[in-house]
Chains A and B, each alone.
Chain A
Amino acid sequence: MYRYDQFDHTIVRERVNQFRDQVARRLSGALTEDEFRPLRLMNGLYLQLHAYMLRVAIPYGTLWSKQMRMLAHIARRYDRGYGHFTTRQNIQFNWPKLEDVPDLLADLASVEMHAIQTSGNCIRNVTADHFAGVADDELEDSRIYAEIIRQWSTLHPEFSFLPRKFKIAVSGAPTDRAAVRFHDIGLQMRQNIRGEVGFEVLVGGGQGRTPVIAETIRDFLPKRDLLSYLEAILRVYNMLGRRDNIYKARIKILLKETGLDRFAALVEEEWERIRGGALDLPLDEINRIRAYFAPPRYELVVDPDAAYQAARRSDREFDRWCVNNVLPNNLAMAL
């Protein structure tokens, strides 16, 4: 799984300190609720029917044991002893006190976790296939590209006040376990006829009160152009998306109003203007990010494992658990 570098540590720590100051000013009355609301939302903190709710990102759906223990500690210390895992690779705590949230975020930061951009009208936490990195059917590890998008989109000044929230998912396998067709942008890894790996780009999907299946805006996008093409989509949406009606503000509504062809033409026009520039994604950069996902040391189990097979035969409950929870992986190739 992804491990923070010094820059990540610094940005998360500084964000905690910044929010601590904002909370103190809110509690003292120096900030009104109208002033504070966008600040707390950028840090994943909602005020819901019964209490505050804090949404914490679980990047790409994986946790190391130290992080899991910290989530349990947070649930016990700051909440009511439980959390709610969401369908978009987050966990939500439903009863934190406002005054406790800075300390809670500091505890999260100590295990490389945060709540940045888990709410608000910005690019939310990027999600990926939860089997990414070990799935035996993947073309490439989708977490690498999700992390590249995460780094590009975090605190992106142009896209911090979008018309509405914006969700991106990446799948590296033909079996879509990331629900890419139900995201504002879905990236489905594909191989072209030359054997090069890139992305089919889908746009305008979503659930909620207006469920829409995303449409393909580009059949094949080279990896090198990933960020410039995403920037072009976001820029068109940011300029043309409705801000007068919260229920009409998602990109799926814009797409319906403009039509896919017209929307795609606007994106292509913007992309041609910016591609090959500062957002170019060279192979060296992809490999640099890949290095942050170094796999753990796996134990090679001889196949067929007699003890495992015997346990499945003798224990019906264990066998049922295996049927539902054990899947083929690609580690045999790596080992």
Chain B
Amino acid sequence: MNKKSAIQFEARIITANMLVSGNVLYLDEKRCWDENIANAQIIKNDEDLARLNNMSQDAVMNSIIVGPYVMPVECHSAGLQPVSKRELIRASGPTIPTGFPEKGKPNV
């Protein structure tokens, strides 16, 4: 997560977990589910919210995601950052370095 810079504005995005892996996902600007919060689609208004919620429910029905919900973010010059500590940890990964590589990735 980038060092916090000045807040430009506050917004909301939609997040969920992937059904198969449990990975954290964000609904992105291409209407896809992306692991990078930087690509998340910002909810602009109530119409946007309704449309994105419908898309989320479709993804639930199609067994792609689990438990979608709206989460607040802050928009910085460096990009989107979660407001809550919980979401910051979800977005950044475990707070304790394990010293072990991810499956299929070298340990650096």
Contact = CB atoms under 8 A, between A and B. Distances in A.
Interface string B1-37: 0000000000000000101111110000000000000
A177 to B, nearest CB: 27
A29 B21 contact: no
A28 B20 CA distance: 11
Interface in A256-295: none
Interface of A: 26-29, 33, 47-52, 79-82, 95, 97-99
A47 B61 contact: no
Contact of A98 (B20, B67, B100): B20
B22 A29 contact: no
For chain B, what secondary structure do more than half of its interface residues adopt (helix, strand, loop), or is it mixed? loop
B41 to A, nearest CB: 21
Given A27-B19, A50-B94, A97-B20, A82 B63 contact: no
For chain A, what secondary structure do more than half of its interface residues adopt (helix, strand, loop), or is it mixed? loop
Interface centre among B20, B86, B89, B94 (most CB of A within 10 A): B20
Contact size class for B? 20 to 34
Nearest to B86: A49
Contact of B66 (A33, A79, A95, A99): A33
Contacts of B66: 33, 47
A81 B100 contact: yes
Contact of B22 (A26, A28, A52, A82): A52
B63 A50 contact: no
A99 B90 CA distance: 22
Contacts of B90: 49-50
Contact of B100 (A27, A33, A52, A82): A82
B63 A28 contact: yes
A53 to B, nearest CB: 8
